[in-house]
Amino acid sequence: MRKLALTFLAVVLATGAWAAEGGVNVVPKNTGLMFWTLATFLVMFFLLAKLAFKPIADALDRRGQTIKASLEEAERARAEAKKTLEQYQQQLAEARNEAKKIMDEARALGENLRKEIVAAAQAEAAAARQQAQEDIQREKEKSLQELQDTVARLSVQIAGKILEKEINEATHRALINSLISDLTRIRRS
């Protein structure tokens, strides 16, 4: 409050000094009027000092404190927002790294699974091929055995027929035709 009163008084005196140097003539030439003007000014100044300056100064101080508190709160909020942004960016970077790691693991797992499936399919195909070759070989041996059995049986039959009959040219031809028809019939069945 004293600062405000002293500032106001300094302004009044500076204005009077400026007016005396040749500026505007605000000082009246009538001393009575000058006395009453000065007395009125001082009374008003003291009334204002007692009644208005303190509430005005308090209001200005409160306003200054409010502004200062608002600025401090804004600074805290800015610092907190910056911290939150840094945490968010860090979490985002961690999430990206984790996602990349998961994708790499998934690719590796998929590649391993593909290799396992291909290897299993190749092994199964090789086993099926081997089984088929073994089946073919058994069937071939079985067919050869059946053919040998048939030839042996026919040979025995032919020998038996030959021994039963005397062989002449017509009998020989009939025997061969019979053998050919027996072989044809065996092949068909």
Q: Rounded to whole angstroms, how far apart are CA atoms 32 and 16?
A: 18
Q: Is residue 160 part of a domain?
A: yes
**Residue 31: per-residue pLDDT:** 80
pTM over 0.85: no
What digits encode the pLDDT tens for the residues 81-91?
999 999 999 99
Q: Is residue 81 part of a domain?
A: no
Specify the DSSP class assigned to residue 187: H
Q: Is residue 172 part of a domain?
A: yes
Q: Is residue 175 part of a domain?
A: yes
What digits encode the pLDDT tens for the residues 25-61?
555 567 888 788 889 988 988 888 888 888 888 888 9
The domain in which residue 177 lies consists of 143-188
Q: Is residue 164 part of a domain?
A: yes
List, in order, residues 6 or more apart from 158 with CB less than 8 Å away: 175, 179
Number of domains in the chain: 1
